[in-house]
Amino acid sequence: MENHGPWNRNTHYHPLLLALTPAKRALDVGCGTGLLTRQLAPLAENVVGVDLHGPSIDEARASTNAANVTYEQGDVLTHPFDQECFDLIVSVAAVHHFGAAQGLRRFVSLLKPGGRLGIVGIPASSYPRDLGALPVSAGFDGGE
């Protein structure tokens, strides 16, 4: 398994998603530079990574030599994948970019009957709540 340093907390969840294999055709949504996509390669007959960010897709392509892996630059919500064409879909830290409800509907349409879905999101941020409390905790009383 590739080591991308302790700063990449997403890799902690990769074994959970890899445990959903074997698969004939797998889709890695929000694949970024292809780390999880490459880890899926020996466990699936065909793996597709999709991501909006062109430079990440370019890096993924340059870093991958597995013949059964392809990368697509595009939006998973509108990319012209065939319906029910994947038996495994995984996504790490990407669903918040396009919305859970919309994403889940799309994933269901792409999964074959009996297919498996593994999603790792990011926890709800407390930043807005913390920022809202800042004036009170800093001693501001509402402008007086």
For the segment 77-99, the average pLDDT, to the nearest whole number, is 90
What tens digit of pLDDT does each residue of 39-69 get? 999 999 999 999 999 999 999 999 999 999 9
Q: Provide the b/e sequence for 94-113 (b: ≥16 CB within 10 Å).
A: bbeebeeeebeebbeebbee
For the segment 76-86, the average pLDDT, to the nearest whole number, is 96
Residue 142 burial (10 A CB sphere; 0-12, 13-18, 19+): exposed
Rounded Cα gap, residues 26 and 122, in angstroms: 22
Token pair 């995984």 in the structure block, residue = 90
For the segment 98-117, the average pLDDT, to the nearest whole number, is 89
| 73 or 12, higher pLDDT | 73
Going along the chain from its start, the domains and CATH numbers come out as 23-137 (3.40.50.150)
Is the per-residue pLDDT at 86 higher than 90? yes
- pTM, full prediction: 0.80
